Structure 1
Amino acid sequence: MDPIYLMNNVWIIICFTLVLLMQGGFILLEAGSTRMKNAGHIAGKTIFSVGIVSLVFWAVGYGFIYGEGNAFIGLSDFFYGDFTSVVDGLAGSVDFIFQLAFAAIALTIAFGGFAERAKLTAYLVFAVAFSAIVYPVVAHWIWGDGWLGALGKQDFAGSTVVHLTGAAAALAATIILKPRIGKYNKDGSANELAGHNQVYTALGVLLLWVGWFGFNAGSTLGVDDAFFGYVALNTQLAAAAGAIAAMLIVWAVAGKADVPTMLNGALAGLVAITASCAFVAPWASVLIGIIAGLIVYGSMRFFEKKQIDDPIFALSVHGTAGIWGTISTGFFATPELAAMNGGQAGLFYGGGLTQLGVQTIGVVSSGIFAFVLSFIILKVMVKVMGGIRVSEEEELVGLDLSEHGSYGYPENMPKTNGSQSA
């Protein structure tokens, strides 16, 4: 058997593992960014979410994305189990498991809009719907044989497919669920519901940063030309630039080098470069990261002023930065890299407005589709399930106790007559 074929498959399984371990980063990031009384819930719902998306993706998700069908959706390869196929130079099962990890990340991002106030049943039902139809349709449009791919849409590792799709669903959930109790005052001013552990948040970001090399560099789908090293370089530079830019802007505006803003800047740089990491020069990666770090700070402030309660900043980090990262290739894609990876050169390399227009169409169509369909699904869930938000009492007690019957930090929670209580 061809040794390069074997090496490519081993490389992608390693990258799958890195992307799967990003879920650990999300657990720490979300738990650290929210309050102690919800920490165990966040950890648990992340694990069962990965379980649900795995089964749904196997049953229908992969087929809707990559199956033979039409420009809108795939219609074959359901209940995937072909051990003889070769896809993009990989064993079909290896390609499947790698793509599954991306679907799981998109769902985790979507659940950022549910944080600290949604019923466990809401997570269960929406996980199935999102994994079965919302994510697969957008992914088919761009990565399958869909209409955006046919236009030449550039989204190397998923700024649109994964991050914007997840953020659009999170926005729908945030609007329907409404803000957490105590977040906003009657005059519209916001109260800070601070996360309980910045160390967890920082460690979560670092784990995500490391996992992102499986995300972006793994999307080369092989090692034979070592192009994954170039992709990794661009990824590192954008993340670094995003962290520094966000820290400097919040320091200049607020007078303090706010840690959560700095961490979100690093993530924004990673999200932004995800679309363009195979299309741009290193200097452009730095600029993309800087702009992402500045944009994420402004976006965080914007959503808070609009009373859109986003506890883990999914809308800004994954949504706003995802939009910028997708559009950035329309400016910075080099002729050589664009030709090698599909699409056309960006505006600043003499490519005119063509690629920029395609990128914009992709952002608008994918974002609207994911938001509208998620909104409809959630509205139906509210009607059928009698609501998807926990009661006021349950929210005040915390989802650890109200949804799971135990605290994530039992030794730190108050007790009455030898039993746990709120």
Structure 2
Amino acid sequence: MRKFSLPLIAALLALAGPALAQDAAGAEAAAAAISPDVVYIFNTLLFLIGGFLVMWMAAGFAMLEAGLVRSKNVTTQLFKNISLFSIAGLMYWLVGYNLMYPVDGWTIPGVVGQLFSPKAIDPAGAGNAADGYSAGSDFFFQLMFCATTASIVSGTLAERIKLWPFMIFTVILTGFIYPIEASWEWGAGWLDARGFSDFAGSTLVHATGGFAALAGAIVLGARHGKYRADGRMQPMPGSNLALATLGTFILWLGWFGFNGASQLALGSVNDAADVGRIFVNTNMAASAGAIAAIITTQLMYGKIDLTMVLNGALAGLVAITAEPLMPSILGAVLIGGVGGAIAVLVVPMLDRWKIDDVVGAIPVHLVAGVWGTMIVPASNPDASYSVQALGVIAIGGFVFIVSYALWLVLKATMGIRVSQEAEITGLDISEMGMEAYPDFVIAK
């Protein structure tokens, strides 16, 4: 290695100082001179990339649920996932988006937005840099959150619900229930005015889906044979843990779009840095959730339960979703770890109450979502515990009551549950007339 004398080094630094200062000043000037066109392009790109990552989560839910239901119900579960995604797309365009983002067009100020006002996007070739992003990219991104809410309900009610009542409920959930409660915060409604904070939807999306699922599970009842007369719970293992694991990893991947693109901007150095920080915290929370579930199941049952570990990772993701930007890495680990433990601890509680949640969506999305929302003030000084609690109670009460009433109406008018014979045979035959695994024949 060539050595330099100290005087020579000092001289070189002295000569380089003005040049370095000039470069720094030039960089600052360049940053300040970023054109509105560039900001528009980067923000739009963030929405589009985030949107298709969240859309990919639909595949994750489909694979997770297909793996956790029994083989005789897999086709039905796959159908429900593609149908709910399609229903969400149409309903969010027809009424949901403008109901959720009414701007100055509130029907009831701060509470209910514009009714029956289909979303319009920019005409072809007519983007406006002053808007900051394209209207189409924003609509696409926000739609994915709406569809996610419905996906949560699907897994809880698996293996015993009729298809048409489920799809009718999805129409109301994606067109009205979700957009109304989400407008209270993201649409600058009454909760936003009080300082409620839910960055990417631990409560607005995940707990909302969980409350709707809880209402449905109570009205629908448990699967035949799940809870025996002697009070014991009968395990009903899923058909394919490989698919369930694949679904979890797909959801984990999609969550980077879910949380990262919720920064809603990529047109500055600070925004780019924040998106990177969100990615890191999201990943660390998921990792901590999985590890917490591993430890908790080992301590509780003496063995590790893979399905609990998968849900532990998802619960960690749900928990960090309310505030993925502000916590330190250690904070994200703690938030996700508690979420993962919750996913394990709540399951036996539901079984004691005979609430049959096939895929564990209520512990993961509802309970871990509430936890993530309530812990926001620990890292975000602009949030308060009292307002966070107010938001959770208001959203949870609204979603549960409306969902419960809707499930009761559907039950009374058209019935929501298949017959016991159809349930024993499997919904693939009774509801769909086709099997996911036709080459596998059970010997009589």
Scaled by the length of structure 2, the TM-score of the pair is 0.87
2:231 to 188, 192, 197: 188
What is aligned with 2:73? 38
What is aligned with 1:144? 187
Q: Deviations over 1:346-365 (max 9, x none)?
A: xxxxxxxxx11111111111
1:392 to 407, 420, 426: 420
Greater mean deviation of Cα atoms: 309-318 or 81-90: 81-90
What is aligned with 1:55? 90
Structure 1 segment 286-297 matched on structure 2, within 5 A: 286-297=333-344
What is aligned with 1:3? 38
Greater mean deviation of Cα atoms: 70-79 or 313-322: 70-79
Cα distance in 2, alignment partners of residues 10 and 276 from structure 1: 22
Task: Name the SS for the 1:180 alignment partner.
Answer: coil
What is aligned with 1:160? 203
1:232 to 272, 279, 290: 279
Cα 1:45–1:139 shift into 2, 3 Å: same
User: What's the CA shift for 1:319?
Assistant: 0.5
User: What's the CA shift for 1:73?
Assistant: 1.4
Tell me, yes or no, if the aligned pair for 2:39 and 2:132 is still in contact at 8 Å.
no
Tell me, yes or no, if the aligned pair for 2:327 and 2:379 is still in contact at 8 Å.
yes
Structure 1 segment 241-252 matched on structure 2, within 5 A: 241-252=288-299
1:373 to 402, 408, 419: 402
Percent identical among aligned pairs is 41
User: What's the CA shift for 1:113?
Assistant: 2.8
Letter in 2 for 1:228: V
1:198 to 233, 241, 264: 241
Tell me, yes or no, if the aligned pair for 1:330 and 1:357 is still in contact at 8 Å.
no
User: What's the CA shift for 1:296?
Assistant: 1.5
Cα distance in 2, alignment partners of residues 223 and 280 from structure 1: 20
1:383 to 393, 406, 412: 412
Q: Deviations over 1:163-192 (max 9, x none)?
A: 000000000110011000110101221010
What is aligned with 1:72? 111
User: What's the CA shift for 1:262?
Assistant: 0.8
Matched, 1:82 2:125: no
What is aligned with 1:12? 47
Cα 1:391–1:311 shift into 2, 3 Å: same
Matched, 1:411 2:439: yes
Letter in 1 for 2:338: I
Cα distance in 2, alignment partners of residues 331 and 188 from structure 1: 41
Matched, 1:125 2:168: yes
Greater mean deviation of Cα atoms: 266-275 or 41-50: 41-50
What is aligned with 1:22? 57
Tell me, yes or no, if the aligned pair for 2:80 and 2:154 is still in contact at 8 Å.
no
Letter in 2 for 1:358: V
What is aligned with 2:311? 264
Tell me, yes or no, if the aligned pair for 1:188 and 1:307 is still in contact at 8 Å.
no
User: What's the CA shift for 1:152?
Assistant: 1.1
Cα distance in 1, alignment partners of residues 196 and 131 from structure 2: 18
Task: Name the SS for the 2:184 alignment partner.
Answer: helix
Cα distance in 2, alignment partners of residues 146 and 50 from structure 1: 26
**Structure 1 unpaired stretches of 5+:** 336-342, 345-354, 416-421
- Bigger Rg, structure 1 or 2: 2
Q: Deviations over 1:253-299 (max 9, x none)?
A: 21101111111110000000000102322211111011111112111
Cα distance in 2, alignment partners of residues 273 and 292 from structure 1: 9
Matched, 1:103 2:150: no
What is aligned with 2:12? none
Letter in 2 for 1:113: T
What is aligned with 1:212? 255
Tell me, yes or no, if the aligned pair for 2:220 and 2:417 is still in contact at 8 Å.
yes
User: What's the CA shift for 1:137?
Assistant: 1.2
1:319 to 351, 355, 366: 366
After superposition, the CA RMSD in angstroms is: 1.6
What is aligned with 2:13? none
Letter in 1 for 2:154: F
User: What's the CA shift for 1:77?
Assistant: 7.8
Cα distance in 1, alignment partners of residues 297 and 388 from structure 2: 29
Letter in 1 for 2:428: D
User: What's the CA shift for 1:89?
Assistant: 2.5
Tell me, yes or no, if the aligned pair for 2:226 and 2:234 is still in contact at 8 Å.
yes
Matched, 1:274 2:321: yes
Task: Name the SS for the 2:185 alignment partner.
Answer: helix
Letter in 1 for 2:367: T
Q: Deviations over 1:190-220 (max 9, x none)?
A: 0101111111111110000000001000111
Cα distance in 1, alignment partners of residues 378 and 388 from structure 2: 10
User: What's the CA shift for 1:85?
Assistant: 7.9
What is aligned with 2:27? none
What is aligned with 1:340? none
Task: Name the SS for the 1:174 alignment partner.
Answer: helix
Tell me, yes or no, if the aligned pair for 2:70 and 2:238 is still in contact at 8 Å.
yes
Q: Deviations over 1:368-389 (max 9, x none)?
A: 110110000111111221x110
Task: Name the SS for the 1:90 alignment partner.
Answer: coil
Tell me, yes or no, if the aligned pair for 1:268 and 1:292 is still in contact at 8 Å.
yes
Letter in 2 for 1:232: F
**Structure 2 unpaired stretches of 5+:** 1-35
Cα 1:388–1:269 shift into 2, 3 Å: same
